[in-house]
Structure 1
Amino acid sequence: MPLSVSIGKPGDLIAAVPALLGFTPTRSLVLIVLKYDTSCAGAASVQAILRTASPLEQTRMPDSEIGQAAIRGCLHAEDFAVLAVLIDDRLSRPTETSPIDERWRSILDALRQNLESKGLALAEAWSAQSITTNVQWWDELAPEQSGHLPDPATSLVAAELAGNGRQIHHNRAELTELVEVDVALRDRVTAALPEAAADAHRRLARTVLIGDPDGYTRQALWQLIHVIKHACGLEVPEPRALAEVAVALRDTAVRDVMFGVAAGEHAARAEHLWSILTRALPDPDRAEAATLFAFNAYLRGDGVLAGIAVDAALSSDPEHRMAHLLGIALSSVMPPQRLQRLCRTGIEAAVELRVDIGAA
């Protein structure tokens, strides 16, 4: 994000929600923060997309917090608006004899009041029982307006994101599987860590002895970039190789360079490796891999996956500073472009070390 969209047909934008989130939501309230393009009628860019539990659920975010979250998605008041989409199979289209559900009305009232207090607008409020082909949608503010959803898999937004390597998952559980610990693999990597750490210590001692303090970091980066270049598909590197990467990431200079990798040609392979390491490493090494996984996902606009990875990092190391910072950025709906400063820092560090990380 931001991602340009057309808001001429509500059904098209609702059908694009799975592509924007990265999974198909159920029993969810989705808030889409748009910035209108004043030079082109009907065009807008998605600045942020937020998901929480349906207001029909007992365990849901309080109405006031939902409104504040929407406000945080608007960087400033000019030309911004919020769209609310409620997806719940228990819904029915309001009629004269069956009015809008009071819990949903309460959310809409709170949203409108919070937004108007900041000079913003609740532009639309749409509902549907699910986001699947031919399911009916309707406008909660004007129930006589309705239609049927096109195929979400063929939406223009889904096609654009698929072209950028974005995968749409069936549900949020599939995303959490990307960070769940593989106990058997973790045990094998854990067994390889002491020897990998001892080898790294010997290399560091040699570089210090010959008066080349950057030599260890440079060698670790060469080795790590080699592993990243060969990370692909369903193949999982050998436990010893994963252990060596984990030890390399203990060097903060190496870790910082990895932020630069996220902006280069090896970004997708690096993200794949961070996902493997998040499942394969013991605590607290797991936190470093999960943080890098979160950073890569956030940078390409996948805030949902980034949030899941941040949670994994903090469960591994509750004091991890970068994970905390990413969590704050996500909760404040900071645009991914703001992360480019970290990318540039990583690239500049790689240049100083004379290591090619595949970034301009």
Structure 2
Amino acid sequence: MTTAIEPTPADDEFTGTPAESPADPARGASRERPALRADDPCECIAAVPALLGFVPRRSLVVYLLRRPPGGAGSAALSAVARHDLEPPGRGGWARLATQLTALCVRENTLAVLALIVDDRAGAPHSGKPGVRSGRHRYLVRALERALAAERIALDEVWAVRELAAGQPWWAVADPEVGGVQSDPAASPIALAEAVDGYRIKASREDLESLVAVDAQLCAEVRPEVDRAGILAGQRFRTAIFRDELDRYRRSLLNRVLDRVAALASDGTVDARALAETAVALRDPTVRDAAFALAGGLRAEAAARLWAQLCRVLTGSDRAEAATLFGYSAYTRGDGVLAGIALRAALESDPDHTVARLLDTALGTGMPPHEVRKLAYSGRAKAAELGVEFDLRADWLQP
């Protein structure tokens, strides 16, 4: 069976990604990906790091095969999702299986393939037979029962100690069935991403570091943010007095666009520019307009700007930047990075309305082309201020 690649974000609990695009803040517009052969274990296993955007460890990775429209033709790979392999006790396995099944139902899943990545496992003929194999078989039984209740097949379950060329893989149901892994870096999907300059992260922690607060940078930027906030307050009061609020907001938005242009050209933005951008995003109209950048020709530069802001800000300012960064990742079909960024936003400001809405949309499986509509709303906000945005022609295409 040859799977078609199409984007659908995975459940929040199952940190997932569509097979369409990996996790990177500089990721460009999505394009057609190489087809993945679901009947070839070596190819499926090798593709995992490119599909997730990082190399998973101690994880359950699942491939969701969607029912084709009309019920005819080959199944399509709708999503690849991942869960930590450390649920508490047997009840944890059951909850994990229930969450996966709920995701499968939302995705109209026909069948599931699974991969267990566990460095503590003893590979067949390795001298450590049976190490953790009992736990893995219990997990498989829990998955089979939960999926069968919804008439979803668990086709294959493979296991590896690590994802690396030359390392063994084997079938959990019959460890005598197995082979040697091919090089993940040489998988067709990974090679397609390499053409775009994309590099797979070594771990999920590497992805989280993209939005992690840098205490030293925060200390450098904080005084600039305070100064920029005072100046902005003065200009806002003057604009209100002169009935020039739109003009004031247009100047703020243009400053944000200038920072994006600077990143696009030479890749640098200093502490003062970052602070002025953070203060500009405090204005709801400017922030809403900034969502349109995710669909523009400088989407990559905008994503880098939001990522930089995430690292140097705290509180509600950080929440605004993380929400924009999460939205940018979501619209590219990057569920893993979107989930990380949106959680960072909600940790900084639990009441952030847009972050909560996007997080809910991601968790319920809303496809990227649906949330891309927010960029059109942003473009309309910018137009009201006299600023024109050009969105890519394919922006709303599924």
Q: Same fold (TM over 0.5)?
A: yes
- Check the 8 A contact 2:106/2:365 in 1, yes or no: no
Tell me the distance in 2 between the aligned counterparts of 1:186 and 1:257.
26
Does structure 1 residue 251 correspond to structure 2 residue 283?
A: yes
Shift of 1:346: 1.5
2:95 partner letter: E
- Check the 8 A contact 2:137/2:172 in 1, yes or no: no
Shift of 1:92: 3.0
Tell me the distance in 2 between the aligned counterparts of 1:288 and 1:18.
29
Tell me the distance in 1 between the aligned counterparts of 2:223 and 2:241.
29
3-state SS of paired residue (2:104): coil
- Check the 8 A contact 2:379/2:388 in 1, yes or no: no
TM-superposition CA deviations, 1:306-338 (whole Å, max 9, x none)? 222223222222222222223323333433233
Does structure 1 residue 9 correspond to structure 2 residue 62?
A: no
Shift of 1:211: 3.1
RMSD of aligned Cα (Å): 2.7
Q: 2:122 — aligned with what?
A: 92
Tell me the distance in 2 between the aligned counterparts of 1:54 and 1:339.
30
3-state SS of paired residue (1:138): strand
Q: 1:70 — aligned with what?
A: 100
- Check the 8 A contact 2:218/2:312 in 1, yes or no: yes
Q: Which has the higher contact order (CA 8 A, sep 6+)?
A: 2
Worse-superposed segment, 281-290 or 270-279: 281-290
Q: Structure 1 residues 13, 60: CA separation in 2 closer, same or farther (over 3 Å shift)?
A: farther
Does structure 1 residue 325 correspond to structure 2 residue 357?
A: yes
Shift of 1:76: 4.7
Worse-superposed segment, 71-80 or 61-70: 71-80
Q: Alignment partner for residue 82 of structure 2, among 31, 51, 60?
A: 51
Q: Structure 1 residues 217, 72: CA separation in 2 closer, same or farther (over 3 Å shift)?
A: farther
Q: Structure 1 residues 196, 99: CA separation in 2 closer, same or farther (over 3 Å shift)?
A: closer
Worse-superposed segment, 135-144 or 292-301: 135-144
Tell me the distance in 2 between the aligned counterparts of 1:269 and 1:280.
17
Shift of 1:53: 2.0
Shift of 1:201: 2.5
TM-superposition CA deviations, 1:132-185 (whole Å, max 9, x none)? 112121222344432222110121111233445543111122112212222222
Tell me the distance in 1 between the aligned counterparts of 2:159 and 2:130.
15
TM-superposition CA deviations, 1:102-148 (whole Å, max 9, x none)? 22122212212222222322222111111111212122234443222
Q: Structure 1 residues 152, 88: CA separation in 2 closer, same or farther (over 3 Å shift)?
A: same
Shift of 1:291: 1.4
Q: Structure 1 residues 190, 233: CA separation in 2 closer, same or farther (over 3 Å shift)?
A: same
Tell me the distance in 2 between the aligned counterparts of 1:304 and 1:186.
25
Tell me the distance in 2 between the aligned counterparts of 1:239 and 1:304.
29
2:42 partner letter: G
Tell me the distance in 2 between the aligned counterparts of 1:239 and 1:269.
17
Tell me the distance in 2 between the aligned counterparts of 1:345 and 1:165.
31
Tell me the distance in 1 between the aligned counterparts of 2:368 and 2:91.
24
Worse-superposed segment, 127-136 or 317-326: 317-326
3-state SS of paired residue (1:104): helix
Give runs of aligned pairs for residues 316-355 of structure 1, distance below 5 A.
Answer: 316-355=348-387
Tell me the distance in 1 between the aligned counterparts of 2:366 and 2:334.
12
Worse-superposed segment, 259-268 or 316-325: 316-325
- Check the 8 A contact 2:263/2:301 in 1, yes or no: yes
- Check the 8 A contact 1:260/1:346 in 2, yes or no: yes
Segments of structure 1 that go 5 or more residues without pairing to the other structure are none
Q: 2:311 — aligned with what?
A: 279
Q: 1:223 — aligned with what?
A: 255
Q: 1:202 — aligned with what?
A: 234
Worse-superposed segment, 144-153 or 24-33: 144-153
Worse-superposed segment, 253-262 or 208-217: 208-217
- Check the 8 A contact 1:139/1:145 in 2, yes or no: yes
Q: Structure 1 residues 258, 65: CA separation in 2 closer, same or farther (over 3 Å shift)?
A: farther
Segments of structure 2 that go 5 or more residues without pairing to the other structure are 1-6, 8-17, 21-34, 393-398
- Check the 8 A contact 1:303/1:330 in 2, yes or no: yes
Give runs of aligned pairs for residues 112-131 of structure 1, distance below 5 A.
Answer: 112-131=144-163
